[in-house]
Structure 1
Amino acid sequence: MMDFDDFGGALAEKPLTQAEKAAAVLLAMGKGVAGRLLKYFTQAELQTIIGSAQTLRAIPPDELLGLVAEFEDLFTEGAGLMDNAKAIESILEEGLTPDEVDSLLGRRTTFQAYETSIWDRLGEGDPAFIGKFLLREHPQTVAYILSMMPSSFGAKVLMQIPDGRRADIMNRTVNLKSVSPKAAQIIEKQVMTLLTEIDAEKNSIGSTKVAELMNEMDKPQVDTLLTSLESISRESVNKVRPKIFLFDDLMLMPQRSRVMLLNDISSDILTMALRGSAAEMREAVLASISPRQRRMIESDLQSGTAGINPREIAIARRAIAQEAIRLANSGQIQLKETEGEGSAAA
C-alpha cells in the first residue's frame, strides 16, 4: 500500500499516467469497494493496470483528492482501472473468480484455461449427438476424447457407439498413452467444432418445439403437416423430422432398446396400442416382450377393434412414444439405429 505518512510534500515533477491515477484511486478505496468495480472493466484494461502499478510513486492527500474527482468523470465515461503489486492482487481476488485472477496475473496460460473448460462444456451436450459426431473420427481420437470426459457422461456417450466399434475404442482408451501437446491441440480443435455444433443444436428452440407438438399427434396428422411444411421449406423439415418420434417409429429402434422400453409398459397399454396396427408392427412389438405376455396380448387382440374408441388407441400409442423419448433423453435407450449397427445386423 502507499505510505500515507509521507504525504504532504511538494508534488513530484513527473505527472501520473492514466493507469497510475487509476491505481492510486483503487488502492485508496480498499479491497471491498475496489473489488466490486473490477467487473466493469475488460481483461486488457486490468492487465495494463497491473503492469503500470509496479512503479507507482507516493501520492500526497491533496493530489489524491484531485485524482478522485478526475476519476469520477473518467469512470462514467467507461475509462479503465489499474492497480499495484501485492495490494492489487488482493483487490483482484475480491472482485474476480480464482481462474480470472490466475489468468490476469499470468499464473496460468490462456490455453490451459481453455483446455479445462472445453471438457466441462462437452459434458453439457446430448450423448446421442456427441456419439454421432465421434463416429466420424478415428478410433484413437475417440479414445482420447472419452478419456477426457467426466466418467458418468463418457459412459453415456460410449453406449451411443455401435457394438462393432465400441470394443476397439474401449481397448484403445485402456491402453492410451500420453498424448503430445501438438496432437492434443489438434484434437481439441475438433472438439471446439463439436461444441459449435452443440450450441447450434441447443439454439434450435423452434424446431424442438414444433417436434414436441407433433409428437402429441397421430402419424397421419404428422405426415400431413410435414408435407405442408416441406412445400414451404425443405430445410425446416430436415430440422424437425429427426426430433419426431411416434409409435410407428418403434420399428426403427434397436432391438435391445425396444425390449428395455416395452419391459416397463403394461400389457393393457400394449394391447390397446397394437389394435388396428400393421402385422409388421405387431410382430416387432410382440417379439420384444416375454412369451407369457405375448400369449396374453395375442389372445386379447383376437377381438379386433370392435367397440374400441380410436381415441383410446391413439392415447396408448402416444404414451409408449413419450416413454421412449423420456428414456432416450436420459441416455437409457436409443430411438434409432446408429450408423454401422443396422448394416451389422443385416
Structure 2
Amino acid sequence: MMDFDDFGGSAIGKPLSQADKAAAVLLAMGKGIAGKLLKYFTQAELQMIISSAQTLRAIPPDELNELVNEFEDLFTEGTGLMDNAKAIEEILEEGLTPEEVDGLLGRRAAFQAFEASIWDRLQDADPDFIANYLLREHPQTVAYILSMLPSSFGAKVLLKLPDSRRADIMNRTVNLKNINPKASQIIENRIQELIAVIDADKNSTGTAKVAELMNELEKPQVDTLLESLETISKVSASKVRPKIFLFEDLLAMPQRSRVILLNDISGDILTMALRGASGEIKECVLASISPRSRRMIESDLASGTAGVNPREIAIARRAVAQEAIRLANGGQIQLKEAPESAENGEEQAA
C-alpha cells in the first residue's frame, strides 16, 4: 500500500489534498511508469485518486516540482496538467484489466443499465410467447416492437407469426417512420408490464413442477386434472397447460419438427409407444419416419398388444414426449404449430 502522506511540499494556490498530490504525481509520471505503481494502492485509494484527478485544478510546473522534484528534468516551463480525467483513465488502462478499469470508472454500471433495457430483457422470453402476445396487438404496434427488438431475437419472433400476418407486418416495419413519443412511451410501458409477467413466471417453480408431474401421467388423467384445476383457477390452468406435452400431442407438432424428433428415437421405443394407439396417431408417426423403419414397425405392430405390459407402453410414450421436450428446450424443434388465431377480418378491424 502506498501512503498518501509520503507526498509533501508546500502548495501554491488552493491547497492540494493527499489524494490530489497522489493523482498529480501519477499524471506527471505518464502511463508506463504510473501503471506499474497502481498495484501498490488499495481499491479505496484508487477510487479517491480517480475522483481527485477528475476535478484536479491545473498545476503549474513549479508547484509540481515541489511535489516531485526528482522528476524536474521531465518538465519545461509552461507545462501544466490538462485533461486529467482522460489521462488518469489511460494510466489505469496501462496497469489494470479492462474489467477493473470499468469498475473503477463506473462504466460497468452504465453498461449494465444499457444491457438491461426493456428490449434486451425481452429477448430472454420464449419467442412463441412473445408472438402470441403480439397477435393481440395492432400490426403497426407489432412493427414498432419488432424494430426495437435485438435482430436475432426479432427474427425468431417474426417466424412464429402466422403467414397471414407476417407480410403485412414486415411491410409496416420496412416503412416505419418516427413514432410519436407519447405513443412510444405507451408501448414501452406495456412491454414493461409484459416483462414483469415473464419474470414472475420464471421465478415461479410451481407451474413447472405441476407440468412435470402431469407429463408423467396418461392423457385421460391429465385432462381430468386440468379440468379440476380450471374449476378452481383458470389462470393457473392456463399457465400449466402450455408446459404439458404428451405422446398424443405429436398430432399438433409441425411436420418438420416431428421428423427431427422421431428419427432420433429407436424403432423399439416407437413400436412400443404405438401399440394400442389410435389410427390417427399411428399414421402421424409412421408418415414421419423412413420407409424402411415404417415397414419394420408396421410388421411388429401386426402382432397386436397381446402379452404386452401396459406399463411398458406408457414408459415408451413418456420417453418420446420427454425427448420432444428436451429438443424443444434446446430450440431444435417446435412442440406446436404457430397460432393462426387472428383472422383477416380481425386485422382489418384493428
What's the offset of the Cα at 1:197?
Answer: 2.3
Deviations 1:189-237 (A, max 9, x none): 3432332222122112111122123223333443454456556655433
Q: Which residue of 2 aligns with 1:241?
A: 241
Equivalent residues of 1:274, 1:282 under 8 A apart: yes
What's the offset of the Cα at 1:275?
Answer: 0.6
Q: Which residue of 1 aligns with 2:181?
A: 182
Equivalent residues of 1:229, 1:237 under 8 A apart: yes
Change (3 A) 1:129 1:215: same
What's the offset of the Cα at 1:278?
Answer: 2.1
Tell me which structure has the larger Cα radius of gyration. Answer: 2
Equivalent residues of 1:92, 1:101 under 8 A apart: no
* SS of corresponding position for 2:117: helix
Deviations 1:112-131 (A, max 9, x none): 95597223212222122112
What's the offset of the Cα at 1:138?
Answer: 2.9
Opposite residue 275 of structure 1, the aligned amino acid is R
What's the offset of the Cα at 1:86?
Answer: 7.7
Change (3 A) 1:335 1:215: same
What's the offset of the Cα at 1:317?
Answer: 0.8
Q: Which residue of 2 aligns with 1:337?
A: 337
Q: Which residue of 2 aligns with 1:42?
A: none
Map 1:265-276 → 2, pairs under 5 A: 265-276=265-276
How many residue pairs are counted as aligned between the two chains?
310
State which drifts further: 327-336 or 181-190. 181-190
Opposite residue 179 of structure 1, the aligned amino acid is N
Query: Is 1:132 paired with 2:132?
Result: yes
Separation of aligned partners in 2, 1:100 and 1:119: 24
Separation of aligned partners in 2, 1:115 and 1:138: 28
Opposite residue 178 of structure 2, the aligned amino acid is V
Separation of aligned partners in 1, 2:254 and 2:104: 49
Q: Normalized against structure 2, the TM-score is what?
A: 0.62
Query: Is 1:196 paired with 2:171?
Result: no
> What root-mean-square deviation, in Å, do the aligned CA atoms of Structure 1 and Structure 2 show?
5.2
What's the offset of the Cα at 1:312?
Answer: 2.0
Separation of aligned partners in 2, 1:121 and 1:51: 34
Q: What runs of 5+ residues in structure 1 fail to find an aligned partner?
A: 10-19, 39-48, 55-83
* SS of corresponding position for 1:257: helix
Change (3 A) 1:123 1:36: farther
Separation of aligned partners in 1, 2:290 and 2:114: 51
Q: Percent identity?
A: 63
Q: Which residue of 2 aligns with 1:152?
A: 152
* SS of corresponding position for 1:333: coil
Change (3 A) 1:164 1:188: same
Q: Which residue of 2 aligns with 1:317?
A: 317
Q: Normalized against structure 1, the TM-score is what?
A: 0.63
Separation of aligned partners in 2, 1:299 and 1:290: 14
Deviations 1:272-320 (A, max 9, x none): 1111112332233334445554444333222111122222211221121
Change (3 A) 1:267 1:184: farther
Map 1:24-39 → 2, pairs under 5 A: none
Separation of aligned partners in 2, 1:339 and 1:183: 31
What's the offset of the Cα at 1:90?
Answer: 9.3
Map 1:40-189 → 2, pairs under 5 A: 117-173=117-173, 175-177=174-176, 179-180=178-179, 182=181, 185-186=184-185, 187-189=187-189
Map 1:247-286 → 2, pairs under 5 A: 247-286=247-286
Q: Which residue of 2 aligns with 1:297?
A: 297
Separation of aligned partners in 1, 2:164 and 2:264: 28
Separation of aligned partners in 2, 1:116 and 1:181: 23
Opposite residue 165 of structure 1, the aligned amino acid is R
Opposite residue 313 of structure 1, the aligned amino acid is I
Equivalent residues of 2:92, 2:101 under 8 A apart: no
* SS of corresponding position for 2:337: coil
Q: What runs of 5+ residues in structure 2 fail to find an aligned partner?
A: 11-16, 25-34, 45-51, 58-83, 345-350
Separation of aligned partners in 2, 1:343 and 1:280: 28
Q: Which residue of 1 aligns with 2:219?
A: 219
Separation of aligned partners in 1, 2:182 and 2:263: 45
Separation of aligned partners in 2, 1:179 and 1:102: 38
Equivalent residues of 1:254, 1:334 under 8 A apart: yes
What's the offset of the Cα at 1:321?
Answer: 0.8
Opposite residue 198 of structure 1, the aligned amino acid is I
Change (3 A) 1:86 1:298: closer
Change (3 A) 1:230 1:255: same
Equivalent residues of 2:267, 2:293 under 8 A apart: yes
